[in-house]
């Protein structure tokens, strides 16, 4: 059995216009795919298709050699998706959001672990304020803390460096390296190259 994520001939359209087609790749443990391309070239659409949020119109996506079906719980539990909106409740604090995320994942929330994850991302002073009062970069840090707290084999990240300052960007690069070293897989849409290793997919545009 092949382990990992593979795409064969993936294609997707929006409003009847092709966004991408013929996407092929195979990613095994420890591998990174960086997706680049101009604004509107289809990076977000591709990540949504990979997450199962949108079904591909052509081709096939496989996880551990089985077809990915939209909403399938085994796949959803293997994957972490961080999109533009970060998936964070604005009325809860960073700590409360992470407690909730851990409960949903079937994990027992540990306030110590949550606070340590937030502190390591420079959020020690902002962890109890409602998220709606935080800056964009601070919200993104909360989403990155969630990645650290919920171990997932596959990361699908849409421009994770957006709004992050230099220090937080460096923390994220270290977090991604550790994930890959531990045998994780990542697909990252980015305008800023992340690391020397890893494969690249340019959607043109
Ligand atoms: N909800 C939607 N309905 C119709 N068309 C859409 C929708 N979302 C995106 N599109 C179109 O799909 C194409 C690809 O958009 P997408 O957001 O995937 O690109 P992107 O590469 O992620 O862009 P950016 O770098 O600006 O984030 C664009 O032409 C866009 O106009």
User: Other CB atoms closer than 10 Å to residue 49's CB: what's the count?
Assistant: 26
Instruction: Report whether pLDDT(46) > 80.
Output: yes
Rg (CA), the chain: 17
Q: Which long-range contacts (CB under 8 A, 24 or more apart) does 104-113 make?
A: 105/77, 105/150, 107/149, 107/150, 113/149
Pocket test of ligand 1: the residue of 19, 51, 83, 202 to mutate, having most ligand atoms within 8 Å of its CB, is 19
Which of the pair, 88 or 182, is modelled with greater confidence? 182
Give the 3-state DSSP-derived string for 31-58, with helices as H, strands as E and coil as C: CEEEEECCCCCCHHHHHHHHHCCCCCCE
Q: Is the CB of 14 under 6 A from ligand 1?
A: yes
What is residue 188's predicted lDDT score, i.e. its pLDDT?
96
ipTM of the complex: 0.95
Nearest CA to ligand 1 atom 6: 14
CB-ligand 1 contact for 143 (6 Å cutoff): no
Ligand 1 touching residue 37 (CB < 6 A): yes
Q: Is any ligand 1 atom within 6 A of the Cβ of residue 196? A: no
- 82-140 pLDDT, tens digit per residue, is 887 767 889 999 999 999 999 988 888 899 999 999 998 889 999 999 999 999 999 99
DSSP state letter for 132 = G
Q: Identify the structural domains of the chain with CATH numbers, from first to last.
A: 5-202 (3.40.50.300)
Q: Give yes or no for residue 72 having a pLDDT over 80.
A: no
């Amino acid at each position: 059995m092949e382990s990992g994520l593979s795409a064969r001939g993936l294609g997707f359209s929006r409003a009847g216009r092709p966004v991408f087609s013929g996407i092929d790749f195979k990613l095994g443990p420890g591998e990174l795919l960086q997706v680049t391309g101009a604004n509107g070239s289809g990076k977000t659409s591709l990540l949504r298709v990979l997450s199962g949020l949108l079904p591909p119109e052509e081709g096939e996506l496989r996880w551990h050699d089985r077809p990915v079906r939209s909403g399938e719980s085994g796949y959803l539990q293997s994957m972490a998706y961080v999109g533009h909106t970060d998936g964070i409740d604005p009325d809860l604090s960073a700590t409360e959001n992470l407690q909730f995320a851990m409960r949903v994942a079937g994990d027992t929330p540990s306030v110590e672990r949550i606070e340590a994850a937030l502190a390591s991302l420079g959020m020690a002073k902002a962890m109890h304020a409602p998220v709606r009062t935080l800056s964009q970069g601070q919200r993104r840090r909360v989403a990155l803390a969630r990645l650290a707290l919920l171990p997932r084999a596959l990361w699908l990240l849409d421009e994770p460096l957006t709004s992050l300052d230099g220090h937080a960007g460096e923390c994220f690069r270290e977090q991604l390296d550790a994930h890959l070293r531990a045998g994780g897989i990542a697909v990252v849409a980015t305008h800023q190259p992340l690391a020397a290793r890893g494969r690249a997919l340019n959607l043109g545009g």
